[in-house]
Amino acid sequence: MQPSQKQEAKLASAVLGLLIFFLVMTIVAVKKFGIDLPGCVTNVAAFTKGEVIERAPKHYEIHYVARMWSFEPANIELPTGAEADIYLNSVDVNHGFQILGTNVNLMAVPGAVNYSHVKFKTPGKYSVVCHEYCGSGHHGMTTTIMVSDNPTHAGEAQTRAGPPVELSLDAKAGSELVVTKGCVGCHSLDQTQTSIAPTFKGLWGKTEVMADGTKVLVDEAYVKDSIKNPQAKIVKGFQPIMPTLLVTEAELQQITEFLKTMK
């Protein structure tokens, strides 16, 4: 039996009604519940330094770096009503990133930058947690965002950390190599000393005590030798777990040049 024109008209209006209903629900979700519609992939390049940038009054851009087992910047403060564009990446393995009490729930993926947007309407202490198992320190991988009417350091304290250091071309290439080759998974770039490997910060020019009690100056020869023969000399207190890296002579030089800047 052929459907009559009347039936067709009924069907058409039912479909139209459904479409309008879905459209209205989408608008309600966005306006009333603050749910983000999927956006485009960001064009922000991967970064290794966390920071809070104030773009306009009460409008912040936050670059979060996830690493075993912390978030940078840590424990920031924002004013009530602050809007934040959140960019997130990881310098070692996959991590989770959830701001409890908000809709922000992201994955931190090495080499990729993920984005979310949030408005902190009510003051309070917001916890940020890693929800992807990432090793023995996973459970302690948290930080906070303190939202209050009169924050003492609304972002700025973490933003400006001295004048930017001008790196040579080789050192800059080296700074990227320590990320892509995975070095920073075990060697931190700031003071946070992990139990896995000595931090890179302040390493250059230091005298290290080896497992056998001998002392070695961290210079060009030592650094290159350590990368080529990681098991040869082990710093006291650490396990001989560093893998041998496949690097060219040029890359070896670039990593060395970068480590020189980490005094």
Binding residue (CB under 6 A) for ligand CUA from 52, 91, 104, 141: 141
How near is the Cβ of 91 to ligand CUA at its closest, in Å? Answer: 11
- Of 9-17, 133-141, 196-204, 209-217: span binding ligand CUA (CB under 6 A): 133-141
Of residues 69-128, those binding ligand CUA (CB under 6 A): 69, 95
* 184 is a contact residue toward ligand CUA (CB under 6 A): no
Smallest separation (angstroms) from ligand CUA to the CB of 38: 24
CB of 124 to ligand CUA, least distance (A): 23
Beta-carbon-side half-sphere exposure of residue 138 (alpha carbons within 13 Å): 11
Does residue 130 interact with ligand CUA by CB under 6 A?
yes
DSSP codes of every residue in 126-184: EEEE--S--STTGGG-EEEEEEESS-TTTTHHHH--SSPPPPPHHHHHHHHHHHHTSGG
Shortest spacing between CB 97 and ligand CUA, in angstroms: 9
The contact mask relative to ligand CUA for 199-218 (x = CB under 6 A, - = no) is --------------------
Query: Measuring CA to CA, how many Å separate 140 from each of 62, 152, 210?
Result: 21, 26, 30
d(CA 27, CA 81): 22
Q: Select from 58, 138, 153, 181 the one that contacts ligand CUA (CB under 6 A).
A: 138
Q: How far is the CB of 197 from ligand CUA (least distance, A)?
A: 18
Tell me if 181 contacts ligand CUA by CB under 6 A: no
What span, in angstroms and rounded, lies between the C-alpha atoms of 263 and 252?
A: 18
Contact segment (CB under 6 A) with ligand CUA among 129-137, 166-174, 187-195, 252-260 equals 129-137
CB nearer to ligand CUA: pick between 134 and 154: 134
90 vs 150: CA distance, rounded Å: 31
How far is 53 from 63, CA to CA, in rounded Å? 8
Q: Near ligand CUA by CB under 6 A, which window of 111-119, 130-138, 192-200, 215-223?
A: 130-138
114 membership: H or E segment, kind and range? strand 114-119
CA 249/CA 212 separation, integer angstroms: 29
134: contact with ligand CUA by CB under 6 A: yes
Name the 3-class secondary structure at 120: coil
Which one, 142 or 159, has the nearer CB to ligand CUA?
A: 142
Contact between 178 and ligand CUA by CB under 6 A: the answer reads no
CB of 132 to ligand CUA, least distance (A): 5
- Quote helix, strand, coil % in the chain, to nearest 5: 25, 25, 50
CA pair distance 63, 72, nearest whole angstrom: 8
Binding site for ligand CUA (CB under 6 A): 69, 95, 130, 132-134, 138, 141
